[in-house]
A and B are shown apart, each in its own frame.
Chain A
Amino acid sequence: MLAKIHVTLKNGVLDPQGKAIEHALSNMGFDGVDAARQGKYFELDLAETDREKAMKNIEAMCRKLIANTVIENYSIELE
């Protein structure tokens, strides 16, 4: 089973890298980008075949390592 995980900064947490990307896009002539936020993407290849168990496990992995929940949110997709 493949888990796809997105980690993004929480709303209200300043994202200076996202801001820099937004400015760079504007400097390059790409208009109309109102805001850019940078995040991270992970793929985990899992041996587990039970979706519920897999989800529970990945939740724990996200909370304990993959995301820092002080500043980040995470979302999980299972395939």
Chain B
Amino acid sequence: MKSAVIVFPGSNCDRDMAVAIEKITGVKPLMVWHQDTDFEAVDFIALPGGFSYGDYLRCGAMSARANVMKEVIKRANDGVPTLGVCNGFQVLTETGLLPGALMRNANLHFVCKDVSLNIANSASMFTSDYSGQSAITIPVAHHDGNYFADAETLDQLEGEGRVAFTYGTDINGSQRGIAGILNAKGTILGMMPHPERMIGSELGGTDGCGLFTSVMNAVS
């Protein structure tokens, strides 16, 4: 399985993502710079966490309009599995690939801790290896993870099984406790928690591995 990690100025989880992908898939991902306009064909695209463009204007707003994103949007729309974690989730909402927006945490605190996530949909290509598990523990580290969408969109997300993860307890004021959502085709996942930071006992646990193994199984 070939993967690409998109790197923006201010990304800071790009290397963590690359380590996780290499550890689990056995193949080093391409690191694609935001100014690139094209890159090799890949089976999986990851938008990493961080503070791309210093969170100027809105988190993810500038990155969503970066050169490389035209190609990412095209491929994501064509069905290439695409994951956005934390800032990557913010970028995905800013592009419109995923609905809603991530706003400042309701309690105004930067939240940095391990949290319990409910597996709301274990049938997706990103979560199939979590089937049989009701909850996993994954770290979060964000200031702007308060998921907002209008009631109609939220009903649609819930009704169509497009909520992938919800928080075990509220940490940021997200509507309906949403921690991660899928696009209508189920090929794009955006989530605030960091599965790439939970891929070994030395990191505190292995609950993040299932996400990458699920994708690997789905594309192979």
Could you tell me which A residues sit within 8 Å of B by CB distance?
Answer: 13-14, 16-17, 20, 65-66, 68, 70-71
Contact = CB atoms under 8 A, between A and B. Distances in A.
A65 B69 CA distance: 14
B7 to A, nearest CB: 22
Contacts of B105: 16
Interface residues of B, number: 19
B interface SS class: loop
Interface of B: 57-58, 61, 65, 93-94, 99-101, 103-108, 146, 148-149, 173
A65 B61 contact: yes
Given A65-B57, A71-B148, A17 B108 contact: yes
B149 A14 contact: no
Nearest to B93: A70
A2 to B, nearest CB: 20
Residue of B94, B99, B104 ringed by the most chain A CB atoms within 10 A: B104
Contacts of B99: 70
Given A14-B103, A65-B61, A70 B108 contact: no
A13 B93 CA distance: 16
Nearest to A70: B101
Nearest to A67: B58
A16 B148 contact: no
Contacts, number: 35
Contacts of B103: 13-14, 16, 71
Contact of B61 (A14, A17, A20, A68): A68
Contacts of A71: 101, 103, 148
11 contacts: A14-B173, A16-B105, A20-B108, A65-B57, A65-B61, A65-B65, A68-B101, A70-B99, A70-B101, A71-B103, A71-B148
A70 B153 CA distance: 11
Nearest to B153: A70
B21 to A, nearest CB: 30
A68 B58 contact: yes
A14 B101 contact: no
B65 A16 contact: no
Contacts of A68: 58, 61, 94, 101
A13 B100 CA distance: 12
A16 B173 contact: yes
A16 B108 CA distance: 7
A36 to B, nearest CB: 14
Contacts of A20: 108
B201 to A, nearest CB: 37
A2 B82 CA distance: 40
Nearest to A66: B57
A16 B104 contact: yes
Residue of A13, A14, A70 ringed by the most chain B CB atoms within 10 A: A70
